Structure formats: structure tokens, C-alpha cells
Amino acid sequence: MRAPSFLTLAALALTANAEFWVVKSTLGTSIPGPVDPENGNWQWILPADIRDCESAKHANLYNARSDVSGDKHGVRVKFGKQEGLFDQLQPLEVEWNAWSGRHETWYANRGGAYVNLEDHEVGHCVEDFSVNDECDLPAFGKMSFQSMLRCDGDAP
């Protein structure tokens, strides 16, 4: 078996996509547990280990909004119907308008693809509710967060 060439390894490294997370967070909470999807701020965790509080504390914070068109930065989420009291609300659409100029929407019914404003596929996300944690924030008390999407592709 031959070892891969330097050019092959370089090409693989250049085509490797970043990873980022869409996470629901609440600041100033003292109660651990899942974050209520109707309250809090959406926090984007850009290439980071969200199980590490330092990464979570330094991530970009975007407000949850019903409209993120034009120059309205934030995250808009359309949830499916909740079947039972303790069921996890499933996102149907997640749209983000980042300060970096990236404005994209993830659709559950498109195989997890997220697309730009021209409807070109940019990357993929999968629902991932596996991270539910809290961190100490000196100015606010605690920050509780719940993961929702784990995304591949170029991070905003």
C-alpha cells in the first residue's frame, strides 16, 4: 500500500469543510436543563467544540427574530407541531442573516441542505440535540444552551 502524495493530502485539506452549530441559549439562567425554544437568544457556535465553555462564551450571539430579511441580522426558526408535552420541537426551517454578510436558510425537507439567497446549495446540517450544557458568565450568571443543528460547509 502506497502512502498518499503530498498533493493528494493538500487537495483533501483544501476541500475539507468547516463545521458550525446552531444553538439555543439563554443568558442569566440559574436552572439547568433543556432551553425553552420560545425564549432566549440563538447563538451560532462557529468552528468550535460546543462542549467547551470557552468556545461557547466567545461565539457570535444572534437574536431570535421573526424576520431576518435585508439588514435585519439574527436567526429565524420555523418549528413543526409539538406532539407531546415533553417532545423536542423539530425545526422545519432555520434562516440566518449573519454580520459577515452570509444570509442562508436550512430546510428539513431538502435533505438537510442550506441554501443562499440565490437558492444555491451551500452545505448541509443535521438535527443534533445532543449537547445540553451551561457555563458561568461573570456578567450574567449562567448561560444555558441546547444544540439544534450541526452543520458542515464553510462556516460564516
Of residues 38 and 22, more confidence is placed in 22
Q: Residue 40, by phi and psi: left (phi above 0), alpha (psi -120 to 50) or beta?
A: left
Domain that residue 105 falls in: 16-152
Q: Please tell me the total count of domains within the chain.
A: 1
Q: State whether the Cα torsion 69-72-73-78 is positive or negative.
A: negative
Q: Is 35 a domain residue?
A: yes
Entry pTM: 0.76
Question: Residue 77 falls within a domain, yes or no?
Answer: yes
Q: What is the pLDDT of residues 40-76, one digit of tens each?
A: 555 665 545 677 777 777 777 788 888 999 999 988 9
**Helical H segments across the chain, by residue range:** 6-15, 53-57
CA distance 8 to 22: 32
DSSP-assigned letter for residue 110: G
In-domain check, residue 9: no
Burial label, 107 (beta-carbon count in 10 A; 0-12, 13-18, 19+): middle
- Report CA Rg, the chain: 17
**pLDDT at site 41:** 56
pLDDT exceeds 80 at position 23: yes
Judge whether 72 lies within some domain: yes
pLDDT tens string 108-153: 999 999 999 999 999 999 999 888 888 887 777 777 778 889 998 7
- Residue 5 forms part of a structural domain: no
Domain assignment present for residue 25? The answer is yes
Which among 120, 112, 121 has a CA at the least distance from the CA of 149? 112
- pLDDT > 90: what percent of the chain? 28
Helix (H) or strand (E) holding 94: strand 91-97
70 within domain boundaries: yes
